[in-house]
Chains A and B, each alone.
Chain A
């Protein structure tokens, strides 16, 4: 996985609450057996008019936001289905960071596992980033410092789980980490569980 250090980008404003994973990537796109190419279906119901032509008013179609790597949204981003395709679709569109007021638990985990940083900010701080997004001004995200710097130089701090930060900064693969560090503990757990809860582990 590509390490995440710093990022400078104009954020894309998707300023609404409850952006669900069906909106991010509709189920019709889940028939893929690859992680790639889902950007084509991302936010389809927003990007396309009912007749299938692109809606020029949609932020994802506006040239000002082409190449944007940061998405800004409201409360409860990524709610609904557990589909990791939502994270893959955002990555395929080029996004490496989502800033919102809050995130649904499963989405936040899926984003992290794909090297996408999720930053939860209180509404006043979020409003500063949203203002920059709407004015097409770049902001700077520094993962090591856990800060977002707005276009006028205001520094906003954010909280992050130490393990996730470590993995993102170093681009680490979690399966390798678990097998390297915990293989012995897993075997010991299984041995004990066979005595303690045979119906659980015998299944």
Chain B
């Protein structure tokens, strides 16, 4: 009992959601808090897999269960019309190599022209591959997204991709349990993205290192699946190994009828099982953080780490005001890179570009929130480009069926094909050196959106508000058709 890593449920003690998923996936208990853990679903993309397939080939090893893996392309794909060839030869090679590798090893592959293609963390849930209680991995740190369904989902490196392909398992040391409880309800105009940034601002980017986070409380329960995915997605920005939300009626309603979700009697049996996954009353968490949702406002990052965040109504902080000298030095370096002066009101910061997309904020609800701001408005003069990039083919079709694409185009935005786009400075969608971007993505690191790019992380509604204003604007002051 005193050791948080002991197996609570097996000795009858209350267990957390994380404990329960861990316990039911133990293949071999190796003692010392480590175990060989079975992996139910493996998602593969073009960037972090070539070396894994190469190693399998060199060792003459097969993929143990090809049907447990789905591969697709997202990081490298251009978001311009799909009938054009990929100009970057290196990107084209990675994509064609994944096509060859999946064919050779018998793995399902959604190619660039597949109507279901999109960002791996948007497509997995849409297909119903993501289910409560599963273990899900991908060579991408934002795999934490799938934790929104109560699945233990986390990013792995390429050596681990190889290990999962060859053995369908991973050798893991159990993380500690951390609960983030969010009391109250989020005020109007405040979204799951603001909640994620508020949590990271409160605990820091290493705040959950060594832990799996469980998000709980009234505000989390009230989130849609889209909102829950946004929250779980940024667990890695808080340092968490994974982020979990207990499955409930919202989860089941989203999943029922999805192509790969169980059907009929098996669905009923699965749901009955999933209802037992929630953390038991009295389960022990190694750390607990309580956040009051009512105090959260729309947020904007000002620096080069997601923890460097302030309310849109606030000002750029002064490095001299930080109690921790290291944090003060980091702030000074960040302001130098960002080209910002201490004390500047956030609403006074003009922007050059806007990016609405990424595995954090490219789902239908995100696009609806942005469209509600754009409806009847124009992109401000001086804003060079507003990219709106749906997370998947399904999101794109849904948005077009609702007429959102017409709203974006009428406002002066570019409506693109699905992909990771300008989140990571890898495909043609980049922010040029020295330019400032209001972005719905997840990382504002130095050079993340391209060398010298200056990134401010915001929600989709706040990104749209910045686009139509030419500078950061509190979206709550803009009357919107959707009543944001």
Contact = CB atoms under 8 A, between A and B. Distances in A.
A30 interface: yes
A33 B159 contact: no
Contacts of B163: 174-175, 178
B169 A186 contact: yes
B286 to A, nearest CB: 15
Nearest to B337: A45
B426 A76 contact: no
Contact of A23 (B159, B269, B447): B447
A82 B157 contact: yes
B142 to A, nearest CB: 9
A75 interface: yes
B397 interface: no
Contacts of A82: 48, 139-141, 143, 155-157
B201 interface: no
Interface residues of B, number: 84
B36 A27 contact: no
Nearest to B267: A199
Contact of A33 (B59, B94, B173): B94
B73 interface: no
Contact of B426 (A17, A23, A28, A174): A28
B40 interface: yes
Contact of A113 (B59, B91, B160, B424): B160
Interface residues of A, number: 58
A50 B433 contact: yes
A162 B33 CA distance: 11
Interface string B111-130: 00000000000000000010
Interface in B136-162: 139-141, 143, 154-160, 162
A79 B50 CA distance: 23
A153 interface: no
Given A16-B330, A33-B94, A109-B157, A200 B40 contact: yes
B169 A178 contact: yes
B425 A106 contact: no
A197 B40 CA distance: 10
Interface of B: 24, 27-28, 30, 32, 34, 36, 38, 40-41, 47-48, 50-51, 54-55, 59, 61, 64-65, 67-68, 75-76, 88, 90-91, 93-94, 97, 129, 131, 133-134, 139-141, 143, 154-160, 162-163, 166-169, 171, 173, 175, 205-206, 209-210, 236, 239, 241, 260-262, 266, 269-270, 273, 305, 326, 329-330, 333, 424-426, 433, 443, 445-448, 451-452
